[in-house]
Amino acid sequence: MNMPDANSESVTLGKYLSVLQSIIKVENRLTWSEFTYIFLNLFVLFFIISLNVYMHTYPALYTSFLGILSAMLCIVVGESLCIYWVISSMRMQLKLKLRYFQARALERKMDNPGEFIISEEYVFFDRNIKQIESFDAKETVRYPSAGAVRMDGFAGSAKPRHLSWMLPSLFFMIYCIFFILTVMRIFSS
């Protein structure tokens, strides 16, 4: 009779360790993706600045179709990159939120036999289920199932970390300023 208890404890511990490993993987992936987005935004920003300096040096480029198209295309690429950065960070935060939910549930259930863990994220993307409750009813994760931020959509409802919304917002504002300056230079030419 002691064997099933020891066996269930080792299974629970194994599940708990695998959840902790997946938390570490998602956090590392989130960190590296943010560094990648920062690098890409800096590259686009450098290209926009150099293009504006070049167009300022040669004012005839402001009236040419290729100069206008290049400047606007770079700005749109930069803004799109910022939007995608925020949305992909929100999605990863949702997965991280689910893993933390699972880890806390396993910590509470470590001594109870017959535990059940939700091992797939598909439950979060079902429109009929609007919340997930832990087995002991001590914790609930709620998410939207309708509208623009529904969980089966791209954006999701998990809130990003500060780095995941402050830096893209800063880059987005810089791109908007460059857009306004470019439009003003085009109309003043």
Q: For residue range 117-170, list pLDDT tens digits in order.
A: 544 455 555 556 667 676 667 777 666 566 555 554 444 444 445 566 788 889
Residue 104 pLDDT > 70: yes
Matching residue, tokens 């290209």: 47
- Give every CB contact of residue 175 below 8 A, 6+ residues apart in sequence: 45, 48, 75, 78, 79, 82
pLDDT confidence of residue 154: 42
pLDDT confidence of residue 161: 59
Least confident of 68-72, 129-133, 172-176, 180-184: 129-133
Q: How far apart are CA 40 and CA 48, in angstroms?
A: 12
The two tokens of residue 187 are: 């109309």
Q: How far apart are CA 101 and CA 116, in angstroms?
A: 13
pLDDT confidence of residue 184: 84
pLDDT confidence of residue 93: 81
Predicted TM-score (pTM) of the model is 0.65
CA distances from 28 to 6, 92, 156 (A): 33, 11, 20
Between 8 and 123, the more confident residue is: 8
pLDDT confidence of residue 119: 47
- Give every CB contact of residue 105 below 8 A, 6+ residues apart in sequence: 117, 134, 135, 136, 139
Q: Which H/E stretch holds residue 141?
A: strand 140-142
- Backbone phi and psi for residue 30, each to the nearest 5 degrees, phi listed first: -65, -45
Q: What is the Rg, in whole angstroms, of the alpha carbon atoms belonging to the chain? A: 24
The two tokens of residue 99 are: 């893993």
Q: For residue range 31-71, list pLDDT tens digits in order.
A: 888 899 999 999 999 998 888 888 778 777 666 777 778 88
